[in-house]
């Protein structure tokens, strides 16, 4: 991803993509790009959650 997103921003964009897909507002020509973008955002969110989880565990062990 070219820009760093906050978790909330990434989730909001994922929700927008899902809404477009559900409403069939996505052109066949851009469907692949939309899905790729959603996949990238989901991976980023998962990474952020793993980082936060590790940080919380570390804090609880102190």
As a whole number of angstroms, the distance between CA 57 and CA 15 comes to 29
Residue 4 has pLDDT above 80, yes or no: no
Give whole-number Cα distances, 14 to 21, 30, 55, in Å: 11, 15, 25
Q: Where are the alpha helices (DSSP H) in the chain?
A: 7-22, 28-61
Q: Which residue from 52, 46, 37 is spatially nearest to 3, judged by alpha carbons?
A: 37
Q: Bigger pLDDT: 55 or 62?
A: 55
Q: How confident is the model over 49-59, as pLDDT tens digits?
A: 999 999 999 99
């Amino acid at each position: 991803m070219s820009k760093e997103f906050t978790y909330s921003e990434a989730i909001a964009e994922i929700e927008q993509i899902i809404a477009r897909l559900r409403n069939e507002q996505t052109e066949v020509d851009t469907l692949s790009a939309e899905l790729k973008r959603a996949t990238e955002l989901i991976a980023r969110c998962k990474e952020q959650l793993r980082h936060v989880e590790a940080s919380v565990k570390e804090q609880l062990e102190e």
